Amino acid sequence: MMASSYNAKEEDGHHSGSVGPGGAGAVKSRKPDNTAFKQQRLPAWQPILTAGTVLPAFFVIGLIFIPIGIGLFVTSNNIKEFEIDYTGMDPDSPCNMCINSTTPCRCSIPFTLEQPFENNVFMYYGLSNFYQNHRRYVKSRDDSQLNGDKSSLLYPSKECEPYRTRNGLPVAPCGAIANSLFNDTLELIYYYPNKSSMSIPLVKTGIAWWTDTHVKFRNPGGNNNLTAAFKGTTKPENWQNPVYELDPTNPENNGFVNEDFIVWMRTAALPTFRKLYRIIQKKKDNLTPTLPPGNYTLEITYNYPVISFDGHKRMILSTISWMGGKNPFLGIAYITVGSVCFFLGVVLLIIHHKFGNRNNNADIPN
């Protein structure tokens, strides 16, 4: 007869034998470690909002923000801007004849500057109702190709479809952004009081970000012999010239490092935007204004169609200040926030003065 033993604790899942640490029967404790972090004993600071702390904060914010806002607003208003819409929608516009033209069309718009433009003057082109922020449009590019990678030059990214290849050849640069490059040509003519005229010199370099021209955009094989570097590729469908002939007069501003191209490739966040086109530099040791008041003519080579998407084209002349271009929103925002804080401070001060001591003076029953 075999001997058998019975233990009620073992039947209930308890073992009578003791097991040392690390043994098979050891039960791991679920208690958090005894540290200041896990036991929530870290020192903490919880501010107590009282009238003595909140009211001064509101008044200080108001007294700081309002003068800053006024300064920003005044500075922005001192920036001179002049704008011309040359879309040609008006039948009386000189550019009306170019709206439906399928070939490059030239038109001229005379205008008058009432005030002089001092220092450097920046010329922008502006577009309206053009959604550069569309998701598929923004993705339609190949950054490796634009950085000079030779394999991407011949085998562009699939993100560029349907502007990836054309006639069996890879497109350089590929994508919808490059294909829609702005290609109007703008020139300024100044008329002296004696009726003689002068073409205003426009500087086409220095308009793009330094990081773009020196880091993000590069030509394959450098800037030497771009014709050979782009051999085996074709231009985008809407371009008139291949990428290596964007600026034939300046090899350092040609190909993927062309600054007009780089400025366009930095997509805008809103459907109405402006992009820097040229710089009119003030001559050194010259006391005359960069653009004196008088009569001018804007000469336009009209290439870029905008009627299909109900867009508008503009030319903007602007000066800048220490805060950049004209932007009244920032000053208005500072004034608004400061005024609201100051108003809330006055309201809370009245409420505190009228009702703040009521509980302290009331009789508390035993």
Residue 158 lies in a domain: yes
Same domain, 91 and 154: yes
> What's the CA gap between 236 and 228, in Å, rounded?
18
Same domain, 158 and 141: yes
Same domain, 197 and 340: no
**Number of domain units in the chain:** 2
Same domain, 262 and 339: no
Residue 29 lies in a domain: no
Is the predicted pLDDT of residue 167 greater than 80, yes or no? yes
Same domain, 194 and 290: yes
Structural domain harbouring 348: 52-79+327-355
Label residue 34 exposed, middle or buried (CB < 10 Å: 0-12, 13-18, 19+).
Answer: exposed
| DSSP notation for 194-240 | TS-EEEPP-B-SS-S-HHIIIII---TT-SS-HHHHTTT-B--TT-S
CB 251 within 8 A of CB 226: yes
Residue 24 lies in a domain: no
Tell me the whole-structure pTM to 2 decimals: 0.78
Residue 152 lies in a domain: yes
Same domain, 216 and 341: no
Same domain, 265 and 348: no
pLDDT in tens, 179-230: 999 999 999 999 988 889 999 999 999 999 999 999 999 999 877 889 999 9
Same domain, 176 and 280: yes
Same domain, 277 and 177: yes
Q: What is the pLDDT of residue 358?
A: 62
Residue 3 lies in a domain: no
Is the predicted pLDDT of residue 65 greater than 90, yes or no? yes
Same domain, 69 and 88: no
Same domain, 73 and 85: no
Residue 40 lies in a domain: no
Q: What is the pLDDT of residue 7?
A: 46
Of all helices (H) and strands (E), which one includes residue 155?
A: none
Residue 141: which pLDDT band, with cuts at 50, 70 and 90?
A: very high
> What's the CA gap between 165 and 149, in Å, rounded?
17
Residue 30 lies in a domain: no
> What's the CA gap between 297 and 117, in Å, rounded?
16
Residue 10 lies in a domain: no
Same domain, 212 and 71: no
